[in-house]
Each structure stands twice: as C-alpha cells, then as structure tokens.
Amino acid sequence: MEAIPAKMTRRLVEEMDELVEDGWYANRSELIRDAVRDAIRRVHAERLEAALKEDVDWGLHGKD
C-alpha cells in the first residue's frame, strides 16, 4: 500500500480515535480507507444518476 500524508483537525482526529477505541475500526488507517471508499462510491453513484437523468431527459424531450 502507498502512504498518503494528510492533515486533519484535532477534533476530527479525536472523533476518529473514539471510533477506533469503540471497536468500529481496527485503526485509523482502516477508518480512513473505508471513508475514502465510501466517498468514491458516492461520487460514482451521483455521476451515474446524472447520466441516467440526462438520458431520460433526452429520451423524453429529444434534446440534441
């Protein structure tokens, strides 16, 4: 794996540590990887939804 340095606010780090301490994640790295995967999935879904809406609009209204 590749290491990527990132700066975060103290509050965000504290909240991350709380999730790790509560057992939601094994460590900070796992939490960050999961958050990045979720962000990527969300963006992909939004792009797909926009493309589908564009196709439907074109099909209904024949936009060029």
The yes-or-no verdict on residue 63 having pLDDT over 80 is no
pTM assigned to the model? 0.77
Amino acid at 52: L
Kindly report the length of the chain: 64
Question: Phi, psi (5° rounding) for residue 22?
Answer: -80, -5
Give the pLDDT confidence of 9-62 residue by residue, as tens digits. Answer: 999 999 999 999 999 999 999 999 999 999 999 999 999 999 999 889 888 887
How far apart are alpha carbons 32 and 50 in whole angstroms?
Answer: 27
Radius of gyration, alpha carbons of the chain: 19
Q: What is the pLDDT of residue 39?
A: 99
Distance from C-alpha of 57 to C-alpha of 50, rounded to nearest angstrom: 10
